Structure 1
């Protein structure tokens, strides 16, 4: 179960972001969206605290907007909360809110209540001061009996102390959420007390402005309202979301996950959102994601973190063995939900979050012996892999060179098949000084390899053989189907021949500025920067965020 509408004490809830994470786990939620009013102040805490725990935190916000003189709310899900445009606009909101709150405090003092804005800020130092906190303060100081009384007598929409504040239009809220890479959702429409014809007009108008979804499941809905919201979603091809609007003690009758007790928002709701919203970036490692000195720059790391926070996925797509790729992922803390590995040129696909294999396509054992024998006859180096080691039949300069980049232990045996407990994923034929020799070797085996093995160059000195069921392009097809994400939501980036299949398969195939001519000719886009100057960050900001 999930809950996509939750508030913390960074706006008008009573739970801290970290406490919400713990409570969500206690309630057996698989995910929840923190959607505080007009602020992202609690998102970093919630996301950071949830790392390593059995819960996904979806970065969100609830923006207040005005439609024909009435307040409506637009939820943003999977927002990039450090987006500068969003940050600037929220600062502006805070300024106008503080001005409005000062006026409300003045009116409340004139009505005989003891309250100042300075005192509210002192008591709630890290929160957005909303009317809910006005009410909470009055109850806490014994000036009224309940929060309901505060709204009924003083600060409700028609109360004597209520002061409206400047608001953006729903269209502006949608645009702002999209600017931050998020999904824009019309929150709890029945609460606006509009006729169905007027609500239909509003939804139609907002759909044209880019509205992505409608809150179809909500704490207060009766069956007819939920049915009406789902009909609107179908009519305008909108995603359905659902949530409790949990505030903690601020709304004591509403509980996280279950609302009044019977609310249920299934995981399939989030799966549908992910399928519509998410994009997958497949990036090669060497010559693409990694710099010449095998590093990932801080600029690229930040861009990757932003895309993952916004609900997108990253696949490390490499010819390297699985443990070598996983080590890169672990070294840079890219190991958890949203991260995947396609190693051995798509022969083994691994889910870093679930820590399990999704696909395994090995080479038949008889082909291993044959390839090694033919390589030895041609005077070429050959090696393959166990789960933990590079294995070959003699120490060569090629092996020494290869190990400086891969950083894996190795084993030598007269017959590598004696070291293999299972069929291997890939065989490399290698020459340090002559790609022509490798090309001649490949040509000599074309008839034998047809329908038995695939071959590709991952660099001028590395000719790689793998299962015909595996390629970087086929990995895109597999994961696209696995996640029910359309191919046109996939982006691939590479620089060498073994990247060609994924460049051709992805919705957008991107060639690195430092890529070979074959890759550039096949690409939809060629980066302005190379792998030493944040080309992957360029791709993320151009095609994903």
Structure 2
């Protein structure tokens, strides 16, 4: 759903080359400006390394920048993604956990490449060549390496088979428990919003009981308007949000050419952004 108030469009979920996007942070801001976005958040996985570059370019382009991060979490073996807005990027508790996750992702990536190398012409150097300095390595970078060596044609093909979580080449990695992650984000002055909570196309999703636990720990919002949340499930998510006075967001989850997601395909209301800004105390929204 695209929300407008006058000419305002707000997209609170994008990725750069510092995680699994294909553009530098400045490039994401430039694409946002071209798409008519007025307010944009950079939410790379387990890193805030792109904030400074993104903020500087956003201001020069006349955009409002919202600092964010997508924290890799788990609950009972189910992957959970937690968006954190306006947290302190130097908070020791949160930094320790995301660094642990980043290190584990790197070891996991090595393990996957070792398995792949038995059957395909791929090496760790092929993957490393796809990384920007300081980027958190993930399966999308392995997919890009597979594209480069001619094994698949795009990331979608890679994830549909070779890199699928139920495939023979998969390896697990450390991720903080979801309820703990919510508490860490709150302790860092951030506003935790659960990303695409009903994205069943990606795998199993957590139960409403887990959602209740996360809400009890301080979860403040649900990203409901997202292409991976089936429309019928959005109705139930809105009921949960209303019952618990949660902030409702909508976002593109833009990855550049890494995914088909288009900037502004789903957006957030100005009221929701105002609620996030009112509660965030670790850092601030950057305006031109």
- TM-score, length-scaled by structure 1: 0.48
- Alignment partner for residue 75 of structure 1, among 78, 83, 88? 83
- Determine if the alignment matches structure 1 residue 10 to structure 2 residue 18: yes
Q: Call closer, same or farther: CA 1:25–1:146 in 2, change over 3 Å.
A: closer
TM-aligned CA deviation for residue 37 of structure 1: 1.1
Q: Does structure 1 conserve the Cα–Cα contact (< 8 Å) formed by 2:88 and 2:190?
A: yes
Q: Does structure 2 conserve the Cα–Cα contact (< 8 Å) formed by 1:80 and 1:180?
A: yes
TM-aligned CA deviation for residue 237 of structure 1: 1.9
Q: What SS does the corresponding residue of 1:51 show, helix, strand or coil?
A: helix
- Determine if the alignment matches structure 1 residue 37 to structure 2 residue 45: yes
Aligned to 1:491: none
Q: Call closer, same or farther: CA 1:278–1:104 in 2, change over 3 Å.
A: closer
Aligned to 2:124: 117
- Alignment partner for residue 274 of structure 1, among 267, 271, 277? 277
- TM-score, length-scaled by structure 2: 0.88
Q: Quick one: distance in 2 between partners of 1:75 and 1:167?
A: 14
Q: Does structure 2 conserve the Cα–Cα contact (< 8 Å) formed by 1:66 and 1:72?
A: yes
Aligned to 2:284: 310
Aligned to 2:229: 221
- Determine if the alignment matches structure 1 residue 47 to structure 2 residue 73: no
5+ long unaligned stretches in structure 2: 1-8
Q: Does structure 1 conserve the Cα–Cα contact (< 8 Å) formed by 2:101 and 2:173?
A: no
Superposed, 1:221-370 pairs within 5 Å as 221-251=229-259, 253-258=260-265, 263-275=266-278, 277-278=279-280, 309-311=283-285, 337=287
Q: Quick one: distance in 1 between partners of 2:213 and 2:38?
A: 33
5+ long unaligned stretches in structure 1: 280-306, 312-335, 338-352, 354-545
Q: Quick one: distance in 2 between partners of 1:233 and 1:81?
A: 27
Greater per-residue strand proportion: 1
TM-aligned CA deviation for residue 233 of structure 1: 0.6
Q: Call closer, same or farther: CA 1:106–1:152 in 2, change over 3 Å.
A: same
Q: What SS does the corresponding residue of 1:139 show, helix, strand or coil?
A: helix
Higher relative contact order structure (alpha carbons within 8 Å, sequence separation ≥ 6): 2
TM-aligned CA deviation for residue 201 of structure 1: 1.0
Aligned to 2:138: 130
Aligned to 1:348: none
Q: Quick one: distance in 1 between partners of 2:103 and 2:89?
A: 19
Alignment RMSD (CA, Å): 2.1
Q: What SS does the corresponding residue of 1:6 show, helix, strand or coil?
A: coil
TM-aligned CA deviation for residue 81 of structure 1: 1.9
Q: Does structure 1 conserve the Cα–Cα contact (< 8 Å) formed by 2:48 and 2:69?
A: yes
Task: Give 1 or 2 for the bigger CA radius of gyration.
Answer: 1
Q: Quick one: distance in 1 between partners of 2:138 and 2:170?
A: 12
- Alignment partner for residue 155 of structure 1, among 151, 163, 181? 163
Q: Does structure 2 conserve the Cα–Cα contact (< 8 Å) formed by 1:6 and 1:34?
A: yes
Q: What SS does the corresponding residue of 1:224 show, helix, strand or coil?
A: helix
Q: Does structure 1 conserve the Cα–Cα contact (< 8 Å) formed by 2:252 and 2:267?
A: no
Q: Does structure 1 conserve the Cα–Cα contact (< 8 Å) formed by 2:26 and 2:57?
A: yes
- Determine if the alignment matches structure 1 residue 63 to structure 2 residue 71: yes
Q: Quick one: distance in 1 between partners of 2:44 and 2:149?
A: 25
Q: Quick one: distance in 1 between partners of 2:186 and 2:122?
A: 38
Q: Quick one: distance in 2 between partners of 1:77 and 1:278?
A: 7
Aligned to 2:31: 23
Aligned to 1:528: none
